[in-house]
Amino acid sequence: MRLEIFSFAVTRQRKSCFGQIRYSDSANKILRGFAILGVLGVIAVQKCFSPAATFWNMSREVSIENRPLLVHIATVPEFFHSFFQGQLEFMVDQGFEVVLICSPGETSQGFKDWPVRYYPVSIERRISPLADIISIWRIVRVLRSIRPDIVHVHTSKAGLLGMIAAWITAIPVKIFTIHGFRWVTKEGMSRRLIKFSNRLTSSLADRVFCVSKSNLDLGIGNNICSIEKAKVVCKGSINGVDAVGRFNPEKEANRLDIRKGLGIPENSFVFGFVGRIVRDKGIKELAAAWRSIRRDFSDVHLMLVGKAESGDPVSDETLEFFEKDERVHFTGFCPDVAPYYGAMDAFVLPSYREGFPVTPLEASAMGLPVIASNIRGCADAVVDGQTGILVAPGSSSELEHSMRAILNDREMAERLGGNGRKFVLENFQPTPIWQGLTKEYKMLLKSHPSRQTGLPLFLKRVMDFIVIIPALILLFPVMAVVAILVWANLGFPVIFREKRIGEAGKPFWFLKFRTMTNEKDSEGNLFPDEERLSLLGRFFRATSLDELPQLINVLKGEMSLVGPRPLPMKYLERFSKEQRIRHTVLPGITGLTAISYRGGDRSWEEKFEYDVRYVLEWHLLLDWKILFRTFWIMGKKAILNRTGKTTSEEFRP
């Protein structure tokens, strides 16, 4: 188990995974579209019964020194090349193992040189139910084989599929980063469907990162994510910008080589664009503004760094206009865009929507004046009038006016570029952002060490009800007889209540039939447990009949059928950091420790070690085996505890 334990601080609350979703008539129609995903539930149940360890052969050592396994899931490999430069190496240095999952492609070959493992899984950008189910199933297979501690998903489509797979496989920590909201520029059913998918992904996640403050506000305001789950790491951005090393104009010496390779004269002024050549990036408006600029300025060129995509295509007319213009230069996709910024004189991003665009920050780091749309995300990356110029989205006239202003006032352009570089150096250096992410990962790991989450946790609760409800009906006469015998032997009350340690260390009222008298010595102190235990109580304990009221605790959700045994609240402060892991799940009526050490000569520490192993290695089949083993023991004979008594010694570390 790759898990690093830092301290015990559990704050998880049980909520419906759809608690943040507000349904409408259209949402109900959308839900029917997702009904096919229900097939995965049946498959998942089957796969849950194929664990890596059994309760009689749990040889893996519980250790706090193992490296946590972190999985990033995105749609295409270009995403990691564009947004994760340096971050993955940093995470490896911080003690994480890193795995990437995305569609295969030419640029995925570059992962061979990175300190990561890569698993290719085809993920379609467009909605394709059959292809999406296949993708989820393939991701599930990968996650089951490597058993990660953290799954961090990105973008709408890969985020939804990856999060469903992580939920099915009970990954302890599930994180969704919202890079932007595609639904902002959509209408009708498409808009509602994308919003629903974002809500669903967020509801299944343990933490939601928004790449900018404006997107955080938009997400919370539209009920995409809850204020409890969502946050911005540092001041925003997923990776920051290395303005000292990679994006440093003083270190970039390829300006003339890049220009020469593209056929751009040495002294010409170059406007640049970096990103996907798609409609949402405002390419239509850029073409309209460029048409006027090129007519009036003969020594101005336009550089487009990126590739066209079919998912949100630019019109053929616009592409043809650019391709026929000898002063427009396409580079295609470039893994390293820093040299191309060095060959530019100004940067433009007339986008319709952005999460937190990194390209304006990269351009600013290179000392370039920036012209960008006045939209969420861009407004976080560009300070209007100080580091660049913000224009109305969709306005080619404002874009043209700003481009002319840059051309006509080179002193202003230089001032904007200088301020922009200072802005990036002060606010968006990578290391603080990486450190912030590392801190979040570690905090989530310490509060979510158990694999009792997602679909398997839901199935565990279903299993509790399947057993509990018939058991209460069938055992009610037995419970009534036991209650009468306790009343006749010990009087009222027949039920013993005590505050015990529940999930997350929270107290609950633990129920069982009374087995002891309340006899006290002359000073008013209770006699030792062994002396107060009645003959009838000894029989009840040996046969576990005194535990029957705990079926009510299970029905109320305070306990589960299987889990670590709940102990008195006074023990809470006595547990070590590692032992407190046992309290990250619901306590149980029976458990791995109960069937392994009942009647054996074992210390409290050895019992707690098995409790911790149960939490870290949990799977549904283990619960079933523990239940069957418990029934076998109860049916075969009554087994005393390790000292040969039916009472336990107090736990003292």
Span 309-332, pLDDT tens digits: 877 788 999 999 999 999 999 998
Q: Are strands 328-332 and 300-305 parallel, antiparallel or unpaired?
A: parallel
Burial pattern 437-450, b for ≥16 Cβ within 10 A else e, equals: bbebbbbbbbbbbb
Paired sense of beta strands 150-154 and 69-73, if any: parallel
Q: Indicate if 156 and 207 belong to the same structural domain.
A: yes
> Does residue 391 belong to any structural domain of this protein?
yes
Distances (CA, A) of 324 to 79, 147, 285, 301, 354: 29, 52, 18, 13, 29
Q: What's the total number of domains in the chain?
A: 3
Q: Is position 359 within any domain?
A: yes
Which residue in this structure is represented by tokens 């037995």?
Answer: 478
Structural domain span for residue 140: 67-239+433-447
User: What pTM was computed for the model?
Assistant: 0.68
Quick check: is 46 in a domain? no
Q: What is the mean pLDDT of residues 74-101?
A: 93
- Are 306 and 344 in a shared domain? yes
Long-range CB contacts (within 8 A, 24+) of 230-234: 230/202, 231/207, 233/209, 233/433, 233/436, 233/437, 233/440, 234/432, 234/433, 234/436
Rg (CA), the chain: 31
Tokens at 110, concatenated: 């570059």
The pLDDT of residue 45: 44
Rounded to 5 degrees, φ, ψ at 122 are -70, 125
Same domain as 331, residue 223: no
Asked whether residue 49 is domain-assigned, the answer is no
Whether 475 is in a domain gets the answer yes
Distances (CA, A) of 636 to 49, 549, 631, 639: 27, 22, 8, 9
**Amino acid letter for position 95:** G
% of residues, the chain, pLDDT over 70: 84
Number of neighbouring beta carbons within 10 Å of residue 610: 22
CA 555, 557, 561, 562: dihedral to nearest 10 degrees?
Answer: 180
Both 395 and 531 in one domain: the answer is no
Same domain, 169 and 278: no
Do 393 and 461 sit in the same domain of this protein? Answer: no
Q: Residue 369, CB half-sphere, CA atoms under 13 Å: how many?
A: 26
CA distance 106 to 134: 22
CATH number assigned to the domain comprising residue 325: 3.40.50.2000
Q: What is the DSSP string of 242-272?
A: -TTTTT-TTT---HHHHHHHHT--TT-EEEE
How do beta strands 269-274 and 97-102 pair?
A: unpaired
Q: What is the mean pLDDT of residues 392-417?
A: 95
The pLDDT value recorded for residue 1 is 38
How many whole angstroms separate alpha carbon 355 and alpha carbon 383?
Answer: 16
User: Per the domain annotation, does 31 fall within a domain?
Assistant: no
Cβ within 8 Å of residue 491, ≥6 positions away? none
> Is 347 inside any structural domain?
yes
Q: Are residues 498 and 440 in the same domain?
A: no
| Residue 6 in domain | no
Cβ atoms 410, 393 nearer than 8 A: no
Q: Are residues 83 and 215 in the same domain?
A: yes
Report residue 280 as tokens. 């949402």
Rounded CA separation 196/219 (Å): 12
pLDDT more than 90, % of the chain: 49
**For 478-524, how does the pLDDT look when each residue is reduced to its tens digit (9 = 90+)?**
999 999 999 988 888 999 999 999 988 899 999 999 988 877 777 76
Q: pLDDT digit string (tens) for 6-36?
A: 333 333 343 333 334 344 444 444 444 444 4
Rounded Cα distance between 359 and 304, Å, is: 13
- Domain shared by 346 and 331, yes or no: yes
The whole-angstrom separation of Cα 603 and Cα 451 is 26
Query: Does 475 share its domain with 607?
Result: yes
518-539: average pLDDT = 77
Q: Where are the beta strands (DSSP E) in 27-142?
A: 69-73, 97-102, 117-120
Model confidence over 163-184: pLDDT tens digits? 999 999 889 899 999 988 888 7
| Token pair 């079933």: residue | 624
Asked whether residue 516 falls in the same domain as residue 423, the answer is: no
Provide φ and ψ at 83, rounded to 5°.
-120, -5
d(CA 64, CA 92): 17
Query: Tokens 């933490």 label which residue?
Result: 207
* Residue ending a domain, choose from 368, 392, 427: 427
Give the residue with greater pLDDT, 4 vs 333.
333
What's the average model confidence in pLDDT over 46-56?
39
Q: Select the more confidently predicted residue: 308 or 34.
A: 308
Find the length of the chain: 653
414 and 398 housed in the same domain:
yes
Question: Which residue do the tokens 């070959």 mark?
Answer: 109
Burial readout 232-263 (b: 16 or more C-beta within 10 A, e: otherwise): bbebbbbbbbbbeebbbbeebeebeebbeeee
Query: What are the φ/ψ torsions at residue 569 (nearest 5 degrees)?
Result: -60, -30
Backbone angles phi, psi at 649, to 5 degrees: -75, 155
205: nearest Cα among 222, 219, 180, 225: 225
What pLDDT is stored for residue 136 in this prediction?
A: 96
Q: Could you say which of 447, 482, 499 is where a domain stops? A: 447
Instruction: Please report where in the chains the tokens 């969502």 appear, as a residue.
Output: 230
